[in-house]
A = this chain, B = another copy of it.
Amino acid sequence: MSNVANKNTVWHEPSIYRKDREKMNGHKSVIIWFTGLSGAGKSTVAHALEDILHKNKIRTFVLDGDNVRQGLCKDLGFSEDDREENIRRIGEVSRLMMEAGVIVLSAFISPFIKDRKIVRELVTKGEFIEVFCDAPIDVCETRDVKGLYKKARAGEIQEFTGISSPYEAPAKPEILLDTANQTIEKSVERILAYLRKQQIINVE
């Protein structure tokens, strides 16, 4: 028995690495991190970008509240500690997906500089691309797609970013999008241009 067992115990080091996946996919993998107020257009731009990337056979995935808050982070609330842990976990999942060869589009308000910094520091320089969806609160509140601002003003939601909790804008995001004034298409084109320039993708 032990001979057979020993024969089978050759330790199998991982032999498929991210670079192998990037080579197979024909593009690099990165984390594109959308930050901004609720209603600033993070998810909208992320999904519109994903459409174009997917048509060009680029592997993508959008992480947002819809697929994280009910699952991975369903044990977390909205206290400062819980919001920090929420972003930390999303950062770790983004990193794992990037290792798997995927261009990850993470769309979360992520209002605190320190939390975004934690995610940035999880990965190598150039792998974390911060996209600030910069729309003033009055524009976001006018949109109020999900009716959240109304609830926040009515006091039905506590610690709502921009109303009862601060939003700390990035000082030097890789990409700043004027999502109050420019079209979704223009925002997407800005990001595509950046990805091409950084040689992350090489599609037209």
Contacts from A to B (Cβ < 8 Å): 1-2, 4-16, 20-21, 24, 39, 41, 43-45, 47-48, 50-51, 54, 57, 59-63, 66-68, 71-72, 75, 85, 89, 92-93, 95-97, 99-102, 122, 135, 138-139, 142-143, 145, 179-184
Contacts and interface: CB of A to CB of B under 8 A. Distances in A.
A41 B101 contact: no
* Copy count, this protein chain: 2
7 contacts: A5-B135, A5-B180, A6-B142, A11-B44, A24-B57, A59-B101, A71-B122
Given A59-B100, A72-B89, A89-B89, 16 more contacts: A1-B181, A4-B181, A5-B142, A8-B41, A9-B145, A10-B184, A11-B44, A12-B44, A14-B47, A15-B51, A16-B62, A24-B57, A67-B96, A71-B92, A71-B122, A97-B100
